[in-house]
Structure 1
Amino acid sequence: MPLDTRYLHYCQAGKPFYQPADNAGSSPALGSDIVQLTEWTVTRSQPWTVYVPSDRRLPRQGWKIHLSATRSNRAAVLRAASEYCYRHDIPFKHLSTEADFKSQNSKYANRASSGKFVTVYPESVEQFEKTLRDLDSTIGHLEGPYILSDRRWGTGPIFYRYGAFVQSNSETTFVTTLIAPDGTEVEDPREPAFTPPAWLDFPTFLSEQRDQAGGPEFPFEMVKALHFSNGGGVYLARALTNEFVGAGTDVVLKEARPHTAVDDDGLDAVDRLAHENRVLQDLASTGFVPQVHGIFRHWEHMFLVQEHVDGLDLKREWMKRTPVLKPRPWTLQEPDYLKWLERTIGRLEAAIGAFHRKGWLIGDIHPKNIIMRNGAHPVFIDLEFAHAMDERWRSTNGAPGYEPSKGLTGAAADRWSLGIVELDLVLPQATIADQGNHQKIVDLVAFGQEELGVPEAAAARILRNTVEALPHSESARPTMPPLEIDQLQRRFATAILSTIDLENPLAPVPSDIEVFEEGGDEARIGYPYGIVGVLAALTVSGVPLEDRLIRRSTGWIRERLSQIRSSGFKGREGIQYGLEQIGFHALAAEVERLDLAPPSDHTYWSGWAGVGLGALSRDSVHAKEIEAASDALSRLLETDVETPVAGLLHGWSGPALFWTTAFRRHAQRPEYKDLARRAIERDLSACGETLNGTIELDEGWRTLPYLGTGSAGVALAIEELNAISESPRFTQELDKLRLASTYFQCGQGGFAHGLTGFITMLARYPEMHSGAREVLESHMRSLQLHAVPFGEGLLIRGNQNLRLSCDFLTGSAGVLGGLSAVQGRWSGVPFLPGTDGSRMERR
């Protein structure tokens, strides 16, 4: 799974769970010298401090001005902007702390908002023009990062765009919106490119200004983008001249934007690209780095011209070769894979040894930074953080999961990261061995030797680079013995209960980053990410809730009912269903009475499928709601809109499940089965057959077999349809969909996008194929590989495998729910009855 860089902002050093940085409490404030005028309202928050004249309200939308800055001139920019805005009564805001400024300009900052330091909100086009010109005369000579979402005024740090000034008050899935001339509410796109609405009339004076790159023609044709970060892109390009290589030669161009991606040493992307050029030149003779053809500037950007290495990155090469990412029947001890593994580990060791002998530490070592030339020879790329040999040095820019263990520096730190890369070539759970989980390395190596036949020499190298490099007192504990299902259940429940904290202002339970993003207030309550889903999973597992927890949680939820704004599983229906599972019936009735706008989409997640399934899951009949949901879904099914996703949460499998459940619990109408069939066909159209013979959601560059998003959700819908049909439907497709749930290992352990989703499917349909029992037993053992000790219990990592999570959708509560489904305690999937139509989920 590719890294979602949003998660990096919620990974705080030494913290086991996702949480936002405490910039307000731990970082010096910016703008502390701004005089506070009594007739202005000042609102301090993260990451912005907002200044508005007390008698003024911000317009709904308009032309806004953004100012960027460097660390050395930000005080001057802020002083000039604040004095001007105070003098002319113009609302403005600025980043609140030094840490916010650093985050906004970091390598993996959001490219659409990166660089924005001060925002000015003119009231009119006339004020907009005057403010641009006046600020240009004051600070136009200063430098600052280019703001990609905007157009620049002049040549300095002043930028502009048309956009929303305030948040929408209506129900919308967009972060911000604009009101079009016809009165409709449309998205205000936040893209790393200047994207004004098509209906916008530009003021005449703006025609004076256009960004002009100038200078000579660019000497390369861009073929495709390989990677983007805030510091610049990496591109496959073709030479148009003979200046660096022969015309027509394919190369890799690495771009650096000035004043962006500033690191802890104050170096920006341009500084580091020049440094990387020197490192690559020095290491050229090792044969383990790409050849450099030159470096040049074009407009304001710097480009490094490198050899295009023919091959996949190490992670993708491993995925192609490993037997653990193959469906049943498994052939785990494959001679070709084991030869490749041993040879690759040997060559990785040789590369790091050569770099060290040359006097360089690499620092940022992970599989995506290693290209396998012709599938066999490792070539290390992206060496911008390399450092001259120093046994006291340790990189602060390592990739999550591959960072060296605490206390390791110099060559030992590099070798630790190398050891995790090598372990990653054995099993996909390797990166959960960080944050002191050293025993997991021993467990994974032992499992690899037992199941895959990993050679002793390769295992010894991994252990020597990692746990054997630690002080004796920090060595790994003995490997965990296999646990029975009730033991696993108790240990997960123990750990989850220990994390519930209703006084925590961030979230009542450790969860996904969605509880900190837009809509987080609702997410902290809900079934997918919030307290309701956690308490429901504990309840269906037979874990008694203490009276004090019951009293406090009911009060906590009741105080926040006004924050429930969505329908479906993520919102009202999911919360009501979970409260009924827990036994909070009076509170569930209050949630049912919430008056929300009708949903606009078809999904289980937030749409009509979730509304309809919620109505079907209740004890009393809600015929009117069921009919309304069916009518709305029928109309949506008639549309010709192509669905790019399949599965339980966002695909048409959710509506199919609604119609099959309606047939069981509401009315045995033949049209319900036909509508379910058509919905399944819609999801199957988004899937494709893989080289493994499975059918999975096809995203073009990857396929997904999961329950929440992927083919397991489609298989669930077909199984439910066949349970009410006289003869089985989609038999050929179903066999291949079922097969996709039998991969020997899975990168994540959760319900929606991982192993627990497969376990839930196998528990619900134990006879789904001849080897289902064997697969379920294997998956249960693999689940322990994902489990991380926490206190007296166990937890799993959440989405992206970077931090522990206790929520239902991505974390440990979902595991608890899956284990309870294996025990027959409930259906395993929220809203669904038992396979016989019973209300087995009611306690």
Structure 2
Amino acid sequence: VEKDTGRRVVLREARPHAGLDDRGADAVARLDNEEAMLERLAGLDCVPRLHGRTRHWEHHFLVQELIPGETLQEAIGRRHPLFRDGRDDGSDIGTDGGSDASELDTYTRWACDVLDRIERAVAQLHDRGVVFGDLQPGNVMVRPDGSVCLVDFETAHADGDGGTPALGTPGFTARWARSGRSVDTYGLAALTLALFCPLTPLLRFDPDKLAQLTAWSEARFPVPPGFGARLRQRLSPPPDHVPRDNTDAPDGSLWPEEPGADAEAALDSMTEAILLSATPERDDRLFPGDVRQFDNQGAALAFGAAGVLYALHVTGRSGHPAFAEHVDWLVRAARRTRWPRPGLYDGLCGVAYVLDRLGRGDEARETLARLDGVDLDGCGAGLFGGLAGIGATRLRFGDLSAAEALGERLARIVEDGGRLPGPADAVGLMHGWSGPALLFTRLHETTGDDRWRRLAQLALARDLGRCGAPGEGRLQVRDGQRWLPTLDRGGAGIGLVLDAYLRHHDDVHYARVRDRVRAGLGTELLLSPGLLDGQAGLLHAATRLAGPGSAAAVHLRSLGLHCVRFRGRRAFALDGLLKLSMDLATGTAGVLLAVHGALTGGPGAPLPLLEAAPVDAPA
């Protein structure tokens, strides 16, 4: 808020020598450019007013009008009917997903109206001789009255000056459309596609995605005639364009879209992609994945080698000659980590668990022994990296006293009505109360002590208290204005622990709750394909909790939208769709685990330690 005027404004900050782009221009140079463009476009309603410029020490600031409303990206997330399970009648999930025709029609009318307003705004810029240069949903504000305003003019430039934006948003730029108005023409077309199928960043990985994503949009939404043909024309490369990574012909396998379909070709393709990506010559990571693997998690279960090897093993795909060498890499990586994390998904426990599953018991116990020198006071309580996962691992290795001690630490919190250590909003399987509930369940299975059962029931109630009903007969985690169905923080993970609890306890109320969680797994489209935070997790839970109205077919089809090619094989990009991933949490290994269960019948392989504790666990 400006002291002199009382008006609320936006400050655009820049510092010298910071944020260098491909041409060596720093943030201040781009701020200079934005100031010049806003001055040139002054008076247009689709452009923020420039109030002035100021400087404090070395920091430069543009003072701009605060545009009320939300970004187009936020508006899409709030309105898109396929981002939520939209069945309002409580019916079973049909073959076309969960949203009815009226929701799809309403959304399509809104999207087409917004697109018309954006096209008129861009035309006004072009009439002033300005190319915007970075059209994407985060750079469009939608005001409460429905009008639009373009923001972030640091890459804008004068039409005809030969300028090419040095920065651009992946999925909304193309190497063959980087000069003049072609930049905005391509950006508008990509933005049009993103309004209906917001997976446009995948176009950079696989040229075949354009036909698939446009055809899907036409099939799912009542878009105007010729919608797909126009987008394919505007987004396709010119005939003389040579793809950057034109290696390895596609394997030709079709993506399976129904449970029970021929699984081997798709599963083999994902397996080959994972193995082809391996870099055993590197010490920092074995398979490409989430950047968190470089934070002492290169061997870990979620983002590192252990999770990939686990997925290959439990899906029966560990017969490759290189597999034993990869296991040796995992052993070496666990030994050389100087500051190991203790947890199940992020540290030593997960590595020990996987080595034990792979028949490397001595190395597994050696890895687990390193826990004795790790202070657990700083870790959280959940299954991912906290006491629940560590306790469940100790129990699997037969150390009942250690598991009970960790269980007692968690019991004191739940019995006193306290808050779990860690983030205040922690909920769900990986970081919330469902992780301790799983440990309590396993302790009851092992000891028969009914107190552990009551604690599991109470811990589940704490997570279920964060849930609500997005529609009749369904249950998901409520997070502000969002509903979370996912495996890590959403209903899917809570449902798996409910199911584990109910395998040994006849609880009619919790059985009904589990069924409502299962009914809430119909969200047709998530922006991530991953096991923990995306579509594969919903598929995995739908398969494990199979019942009337199972959503497995819905998620298989949606994973087909996410699927891209790596060296001709099928692979997946992590959340954000900017980088291919092979890891268990975010990438291809997690999808392999989920798809294998859906296609081969039965509940499929469980997540680590979601299986019952072995009664003959070694001492």
After TM superposition, the score normalised by the length of structure 1 is 0.64
Distance 1:560 1:715 in 2: 32
Q: Tell me which of 811, 814, 832 is aligned to 2:587.
A: 811
Q: Tell me which of 532, 542, 554 is aligned to 2:316.
A: 542
Unaligned runs of 5+ residues in structure 2 are: 88-97
Q: Tell me which of 578, 590, 596 is aligned to 2:354.
A: 578
- Do 2:539 and 2:594's aligned partners in 1 also have CA atoms closer than 8 Å? yes
1:64-79 aligned at under 5 Å gives the runs none
Task: Give the letter aligned to residue 46 of structure 2.
Answer: F
1:388 aligns with 2:158: yes
| Cα distance, 1:253 vs structure 2 | 3.5
Q: Deviations over 1:599-643 (max 9, x none)?
A: 23322122221122223445xx43223322322322343462364
Counterpart of 1:648? 429
Counterpart of 1:605? 384
1:282 aligns with 2:40: yes
With over 3 angstroms needed to count, the CA separation of the structure-2 counterparts of 1:338 and 1:624, relative to structure 1, is same
1:316-335 aligned at under 5 Å gives the runs 316-329=74-87, 330-333=98-101, 334-335=104-105
- Do 2:72 and 2:138's aligned partners in 1 also have CA atoms closer than 8 Å? yes
Counterpart of 2:442? 661
Q: Secondary structure at the match of 2:168?
A: coil
Cα RMSD of the aligned pairs, angstroms, is: 3.1
Q: Deviations over 1:144-173 (max 9, x none)?
A: xxxxxxxxxxxxxxxxxxxxxxxxxxxxxx
Counterpart of 1:754? 534
Distance 2:253 2:141 in 1: 35
- Do 1:443 and 1:480's aligned partners in 2 also have CA atoms closer than 8 Å? no
Q: Secondary structure at the match of 2:107?
A: helix
Q: Tell me which of 65, 79, 90 is aligned to 1:307.
A: 65
Q: Tell me which of 278, 281, 298 is aligned to 1:503.
A: 281
Counterpart of 2:223? 454
| Cα distance, 1:827 vs structure 2 | 3.7
| Cα distance, 1:740 vs structure 2 | 4.1
- Do 1:332 and 1:452's aligned partners in 2 also have CA atoms closer than 8 Å? no
- Do 2:496 and 2:544's aligned partners in 1 also have CA atoms closer than 8 Å? no
- Do 2:431 and 2:489's aligned partners in 1 also have CA atoms closer than 8 Å? yes
Q: Secondary structure at the match of 1:603?
A: coil
Q: Tell me which of 166, 170, 174 is aligned to 1:404.
A: 174
1:695-706 aligned at under 5 Å gives the runs 696-700=476-480, 702-706=482-486
With over 3 angstroms needed to count, the CA separation of the structure-2 counterparts of 1:616 and 1:556, relative to structure 1, is closer
Q: Tell me which of 367, 372, 388 is aligned to 2:142.
A: 372
| Cα distance, 1:797 vs structure 2 | 0.5
Q: Tell me which of 533, 557, 562 is aligned to 1:786.
A: 562
Task: Give the letter aligned to residue 398 of structure 1.
Answer: G
Task: Give the letter aligned to residue 280 of structure 2.
Answer: L
With over 3 angstroms needed to count, the CA separation of the structure-2 counterparts of 1:676 and 1:406, relative to structure 1, is farther
Counterpart of 1:568? 343
1:340 aligns with 2:98: no
Q: Deviations over 1:410-452 (max 9, x none)?
A: 32233223322221101132222124x2221211110111122
Distance 2:20 2:186 in 1: 26
Larger Cα-atom Rg: 1
Q: Tell me which of 499, 502, 517 is aligned to 1:719.
A: 499
| Cα distance, 1:303 vs structure 2 | 3.9
Q: Secondary structure at the match of 1:410?
A: coil
Q: Secondary structure at the match of 1:645?
A: coil
Q: Secondary structure at the match of 2:606?
A: coil
| Cα distance, 1:488 vs structure 2 | 2.1
What percentage of aligned pairs have identical amino acids? 28
- Do 1:540 and 1:820's aligned partners in 2 also have CA atoms closer than 8 Å? no
Unaligned runs of 5+ residues in structure 1 are: 1-220, 222-238, 242-246
Counterpart of 1:97? none
| Cα distance, 1:495 vs structure 2 | 0.6
Q: Deviations over 1:49-77 (max 9, x none)?
A: xxxxxxxxxxxxxxxxxxxxxxxxxxxxx
Q: Secondary structure at the match of 1:365?
A: coil
Distance 1:458 1:641 in 2: 51
Task: Give the letter aligned to residue 283 of structure 1.
Answer: L
With over 3 angstroms needed to count, the CA separation of the structure-2 counterparts of 1:487 and 1:261, relative to structure 1, is same
Q: Tell me which of 620, 626, 631 is aligned to 2:403.
A: 626
Q: Deviations over 1:442-464 (max 9, x none)?
A: 11110111122332343334223
Q: Secondary structure at the match of 1:828?
A: coil
Counterpart of 1:261? 19
Structure with higher strand content: 1
Counterpart of 1:710? 490
| Cα distance, 1:651 vs structure 2 | 1.3
> How many aligned positions are there?
583
Task: Give the letter aligned to residue 515 of structure 1.
Answer: Q
Distance 1:488 1:265 in 2: 42
Distance 1:814 1:590 in 2: 27
| Cα distance, 1:559 vs structure 2 | 6.0
With over 3 angstroms needed to count, the CA separation of the structure-2 counterparts of 1:266 and 1:536, relative to structure 1, is closer
Distance 1:606 1:474 in 2: 42
With over 3 angstroms needed to count, the CA separation of the structure-2 counterparts of 1:559 and 1:700, relative to structure 1, is closer
Q: Secondary structure at the match of 1:796?
A: strand
Counterpart of 1:272? 30
1:467 aligns with 2:236: yes
Higher relative contact order (CA 8 A, sep 6+): 2
